A and B are shown apart, each in its own frame.
Chain A
Amino acid sequence: MISKVKKGKFYPYGIHVKDNKQLCREKPIELMPAPEIVKISLSQHIGAPAIPVVNVNDCVVIGQLIGKANGAVSANVYSSVCGVVTAIEDISNDLGQKQTYIVIKNNFTDTQKTFDDQVDLSSSQSIIERIKLAGIVGLGGAGFPTAVKLSPKSPLDTLIINGAECEPYLNCDFRLMIEKTQEIYNGIGLVAKALNLSNVIIGIEENKPEAIKAFEKYDDLQVVALKKQYPMGSEKHLIYCTTGRKVPTGKMPFDVGVCVQNIKTMIACYEAVELNLPLTHIVMTVSGRGIVEPKNLKVAIGTPFEDIVNFCGGLKDKTAKLVAGGPMMGKALIGLNQFARKTDSGILALLNEEISFSQPTNCINCATCAKNCPMRLMPMYIESFTLAGDYLNAEKYGAMDCISCGSCAYNCPAKRPLVQSINMAKLKIREMKNNGK
């Protein structure tokens, strides 16, 4: 198959955001030296938390199993430093949700444990087993265990790699695409073998021409140049713009025969299967005008955010907001006392002029939110029903189909917190369904 770069389909809904990626776009990924203490969460994935298999005062090495997957939808957790386990404690995140963390004090030695056997690269089953063993989850942010995603109920025919990276400020996927092109390609090959398919597409936004060029040379990989638009990295829209298939409301990509994977997940799969390395490090972008020196970093899982930010020169005095993730869908932080997880892809420190913090005013029914919504919903109705407590009507107007991308609230002239209301509606509707309504 001649790999000519195809243009992605045009999808008229969504928004244009200033991407501010130039703050660290040209900076190569730096390996951050391991910190003194790491705190590794046992539930960095969707599904049941892992069960600790080490005790306090145990000595561990890099790549040693410290948390075992609990059930089918769960993931293993590995140590990212050599040292001594000093505690196994519960820590709350900024929203008050508690998780169990294993605290390890680094002794700054270099012993690395790898997997013992070689994987039979011709067997899909062995590849999936190794991915499961290595504790790999969706590193794009969702954290769904990859081994489960690679064992769907019905056979698939297309693998789509998400190289869109539509969130502003973040550059980690882009830097990986140009620095580790061959590793990504190898990982893609392994996953395609695991799924027993040969139709592989990689979708890359047009604002990353170097990445498009880097992948052009592979014959069996179709590169699709996507229009720069938010949220082009959303699963359903990526599938539509690369293949033309629409995922029906309420269904998953495997229902249209497609599997979508993130760039970082592909590298992790390659390292696990061919280099026998478990998942111990992640790549993230530290950016925003509130950081003295924005960088793209490879950090050990469990590194404190404070250490990461200090490695980038620290925060400027005028920092107004701290965000974990991208600015459109990331979570705000109240401080830097969180610890790097598998699914973190960014820490942002934003100044006053970059964020918006006006108080909401009346909805003027301008329908800008409805015009921008990529899922074609009516966010102003969902919000007004949610605020009135009428969750049934909120569901009728599409609350459960919302992907929480933030396109509605981005352009709202009344600065209404639409995503907040819709997320609450989703929570309440799920609760109602669980209570058997």
Chain B
Amino acid sequence: MANNKLLTFSSSPHIKNPRTTRQIMMHVCIALLPISIMAVVYFGLPALFIILVSLISAVLAEYIYLLITGKTTKEILAQFDCSSCVTGILIALTLGPKTPLYIPVLASAFAIVVVKMLFGGTGNNLVNPAITGRVFAFMSFTSILANAFVAPSINSLVGGNTFSATTGATTLTGIFTDGNLPTLSNLDLLLGTGLAGCIGETCKVALLIGALYLAIVGIINIGYPILCVVVTGLMTVCLNGFNFEYFLPSILSGGLILGAFFMATDYTTSPNTTLGNIIYFALLGLLTAVLRQATGIETFSFILLLMNITVPLLDKFILPKPFGYKKSKQGGAKK
């Protein structure tokens, strides 16, 4: 045999689709570029620093953890999938522009080490690391985060509430408890002009462009987050006397679009079946609308955390039937 090289001997299939986990995560990072750029455009250098610090902390946290557990740098680089980059960027996008830089460091480190690595690394986390990192920051530094929103608007509530830049009065609370619609037009809410809020939650157009990119390269199924967003809007409409004027503002305010399109669609923490996903995203939308109404703050992160915990249950009981499955007449259904 005229061949001096060694042959590979492994199980079938011998040809595979070249897409890897790392490539998928890189696509997500690319999809987060538009919103990161808009964040810097609206809020300037502070936003850039927050994003970079958060990104670097997440990657370093994973690197240091793996070093401590005994892996060599070469091994770590070989198996580096960019999932920590995604976590870092997402955590940064949920913070206000005046957030002191130690908060993204702590939040990223917590998200990577406690939520992901301690449970077994990529793919083994029970809850979404980015959302849990955000909730950790919120719980630990509530007042600091509350004051991190930039002038000209004053924002006394945490969690991506949006304010009119000029009047500073209408809040997310305003929509739900006082029954007042925001004074910003829907277009302003969409583009994020004049909006004060978390750096990644203002320009919805950039978020939607990123989400569309992910749908086109086949990474997310865009139907599910759209379902979530529409259900939120409809539920808000129902809770406010069936007034359709509430539909668009409720969707375009707060962290709903960032959360639904980028965080809820995370592979590891979403269900594995079509029916499971429909239930998951619908409940996400429903509960977000209800709790927003009840508490007056942006509750998406808490509801997402709650739904993440229900995913093992959804995956255990919702399974597709095999091709040609017939319930056997003796009563013992063959699985």
Residue numbers of A with Cβ under 8 A of B are: 13, 17-18, 94, 168, 236-237, 240, 246-251, 306, 314-323, 327-336, 348, 350, 354-358, 361-367, 370, 374-378, 380, 396-398, 401, 404, 406, 409-415, 417, 419-420, 423
Contacts and interface: CB of A to CB of B under 8 A. Distances in A.
B192 to A, nearest CB: 31
Contact of B335 (A321, A380, A398): A398
Contacts of B325: 248-249, 376
Contact of B122 (A168, A317, A331, A364): A364
B3 A317 contact: yes
Contacts of B14: 321, 323, 327-328, 330, 332, 348, 350, 355-356
A410 B15 contact: yes
Nearest to A250: B334
Given A322-B7, A376-B323, 8 more contacts: A94-B9, A314-B2, A321-B9, A355-B15, A361-B79, A370-B272, A378-B319, A415-B20
18 contacts: A249-B323, A249-B325, A249-B334, A318-B5, A321-B8, A321-B14, A348-B14, A350-B15, A355-B8, A356-B15, A356-B18, A361-B79, A362-B121, A378-B319, A396-B335, A409-B16, A417-B11, A419-B11
A334 B3 CA distance: 12
A333 B9 CA distance: 7
| Residue with the greatest number of chain B CB neighbours at <10 A, chosen from A365, A370, A377 | A365
Given A320-B8, A332-B9, A364-B123, A354 B324 contact: no
Given A320-B7, A321-B7, A376-B323, A315 B2 contact: yes
B183 interface: no
A322 B323 CA distance: 33
A336 B1 contact: yes
A366 B267 contact: yes
B69 interface: no
Contacts of B19: 411, 413
Given A332-B14, A398-B335, A414 B323 contact: no
B40 to A, nearest CB: 30
B74 interface: no
B167 interface: no
A396 B23 CA distance: 33
Contacts, number: 170
B144 to A, nearest CB: 34
| Residue with the greatest number of chain B CB neighbours at <10 A, chosen from A361, A374, A397, A423 | A361
A246 B323 contact: yes
A413 B3 contact: no
B70 interface: no
Contacts of B268: 364-365
A396 to B, nearest CB: 5
A415 B5 contact: no
Nearest to A355: B14
A413 B21 contact: yes
Contacts of A350: 14-15
B331 interface: no
Contact of A374 (B18, B81, B323): B323
Contacts of B324: 236, 246-249, 251
Nearest to A325: B12
A328 B14 CA distance: 6
A246 B322 CA distance: 11
B124 interface: yes
Contact of B2 (A18, A317, A410, A423): A317
B1 A315 contact: yes
Q: Which 5 A-B pairs have the closest CB atoms?
A: A406-B13, A356-B16, A420-B11, A367-B272, A362-B123
Nearest to B321: A376
A381 B324 CA distance: 20
Nearest to A366: B267
Contacts of A331: 12
A327 B15 contact: yes
Nearest to B319: A378
A319 B1 CA distance: 11
A240 to B, nearest CB: 8
A149 to B, nearest CB: 20
Given A315-B3, A320-B5, A361-B81, A415 B16 contact: yes
Contacts of B326: 248-249
Contact of B323 (A236, A314, A315, A410): A236
B320 A410 contact: no
Contacts of B179: none
Given A236-B323, A413-B24, A334 B124 contact: no
A401 B319 CA distance: 15
A329 B320 contact: no
B10 A417 contact: yes
B219 to A, nearest CB: 9
A90 B319 CA distance: 47
Contact of A375 (B79, B124, B319, B322): B322
Nearest to A246: B324
Given A17-B15, A236-B323, A330-B12, A319 B272 contact: no
Interface in B1-51: 1-5, 7-21, 23-24
A317 B4 contact: yes
Contacts of B20: 358, 361, 413-415
Contacts of B142: none
Nearest to B218: A368
B3 to A, nearest CB: 5
B120 interface: yes
A220 B206 CA distance: 60
Contacts of B15: 17-18, 168, 327-328, 350, 354-356, 410
B2 A365 contact: no
A380 B335 CA distance: 16
A247 B13 CA distance: 25
Nearest to A305: B1
B190 to A, nearest CB: 31
A380 B124 CA distance: 13
B170 to A, nearest CB: 41
Contacts of B322: 249, 375-377, 398, 401
B273 interface: yes
B323 A375 contact: yes
A362 B334 contact: no
A332 B11 CA distance: 7
Contacts of B21: 361-362, 364, 413-414
A99 to B, nearest CB: 20
